Structures are given as C-alpha cells and as structure tokens.
Amino acid sequence: MRIARLSAAALLSAAGILAQPPGAPGGPPRAPQTARAAAPVDFTGYWVSPVMEDWRWRMVTPLKGDFASIPINRAAYDFGMAWDPAKDEAAGLQCKSYGAPAIMRVPGRVHMIWQDDNTLTIEADAGTQTRLLHFNSKAPSGEAPSWQGYSEANWERPVRGEGDPRNDFPPIFSTRTGARGKSLEVVTTHLRAGYLRKNGVPYSENTMMEEFYDYRTAPDGTPWFTVTTVVHDPKYLVVPFITSTDFKKRPDAAGWHPTPCSAR
C-alpha cells in the first residue's frame, strides 16, 4: 500500500513536472520571451575595470617578447618576436589588439545597452569598439570576419534536478543547490586575426571564444560583474587561454573617454 501511495504521488508529481516547460517550474506555458524581458540581471550601464591583475601587461605596452601567462606555442612565439607596430600602422591595422578576445582586458570603461529586444551592445571607450551580443540568432552565412566577430548570446539555462522545488515531494528525487541561473553566456566566432596582447601575441582567424558574465553585488552594495573569457585557438595556443576580468558599476558616464586604436 505504501508503495502504491508513493507511486501515485510520483505519478501526480511527474505529471506536474512533465506539464511544465523547462525553466518555468510551476507556471503555465508562456510565449517565448525576448532576451531583454528574460534578463535575470541588468547588465546595462557604465562599468569600469580597475586593473588589479596583469597590470604591467595591460596598463603599458609590454616589451617585445614578453609573452608571460599566455599559453602560446612556438609559432605564436616566432610571430610575436616579429611584432612591428610601425608596420601595423602603415597597414592600417592599429586595432589588432582591440578585437573581441582582447578588448575586455584593455583598460577602459564599457557601456552596455540594449540595441533592441534581442541584441545587447557592449561599447568600449578604448579603441572606440562596439560588440553586438545576438540572442536567439545564429551568424548569417557569409558573415565577414571582423575585429569583434559574431557573438551568439544566451542566458544560462536554469539548473534543476528531478525533484519538485515546490514541495520537495516525492523525496526520491532531488532538487539542486545553486539552481537559479543568472549568467550571460556568449560564443564569438568570425573573428579577424588579431593580438591577444598589444605586443603582438597573435590569435588566428579560426579563434572561437567563450565568455561567461557573472553579476554580483559587493558587500558595500556596488554592482560588479566578472567576465570569464576562454579563447580557443589551435593555431597559436597549446591550451585554451583563460582570463577573468572584473568590472565595477559607475553611476554615470563620468570618465567615459573614447580613444582611437593605437598600435603602440
């Protein structure tokens, strides 16, 4: 009898679970939301990155051959040792170190705004660059390579277990800790070859970049976010290049200082 009751309860609970769309426990089916409406946190506004890591590789142009901390291979080493900023300037390639795999590490401020309901824009004052994060969209065929590439974005899917978080019943299935997703995930491709570091550490046109944006509130109430960046480039890296960059919210545009790209 006990088993029968449990099975009946499981049946009811399962029926409830199976009736729900993933990510919307307890609610009736809903029309698809726009990315802006579905945003679990608000990344919009002005942000500054205090440079408390990699200072001498970010705040100044490092010496030729200073490739420390980047898991480069021999081909990248040789490429970097041939770095010639004058040559880049002559070729109009001053923005090679401002591409998507590098721009979030370049000291400066970023301004994040919704261009439309499914496109989040990241403007960077360093190099006057603009990134477009496309939700619910794939790169069009024939998309031309560019410094910022094509970025597909999505809100991290809520994590859930087989259990029903409304009543923890039946107890044979589990709910999960840390289960409410609130991160922004971005994958960027279609990149024009550029530099991971201003002194000529290369990434190739075959680079794929993953990013994870995590929002938080500091103990003093200030919003921050950290973007974890994973650069995959089998041509020049021996393992994925992983960095994480911290940004602090600013109340307004004070300090916003757009500058052109510089090769030096």
Among positions 140-159, residues that touch another protein (CB under 8 A) are 156-159
In the complex, the smallest distance separating the C-beta of residue 32 from another protein, rounded to whole angstroms, is 18
* Nearest one of 234, 228, 236, 235 to 212, comparing CA atoms: 228
Is 205:45 a contact under the CB 8 Å cutoff? no
Q: In whole angstroms, what is the distance from residue 78 CA to residue 65 CA?
A: 9
Q: Which of 46, 47, 67, 98 forms a contact with another protein (CB under 8 A)? A: 67
Over the window 18 to 57, marking each residue x when it contacts another protein by CB under 8 A and - when it does not, the resulting string is x---x-----------------x-------xxxxxxxxx-
Q: In whole angstroms, what is the distance from residue 70 CA to residue 85 CA?
A: 20
Output 25 or 145, the one with its CB closest to another protein: 25
* Phi, psi torsion values for 247, nearest 5 degrees: -125, 140
In the complex, the smallest distance separating the C-beta of residue 251 from another protein, rounded to whole angstroms, is 15
Q: Which of 21, 34, 60, 116 forms a contact with another protein (CB under 8 A)? A: 60
State yes or no: residue 216 binds another protein (CB under 8 A). Answer: yes
Among 8-16, 26-34, 94-102, 187-195, the segment contacting another protein (CB under 8 A): 8-16
Is 190:145 a contact under the CB 8 Å cutoff? yes
State yes or no: residue 116 binds another protein (CB under 8 A). Answer: no
* HSE-CB of 65 using CA atoms within 13 angstroms: 1
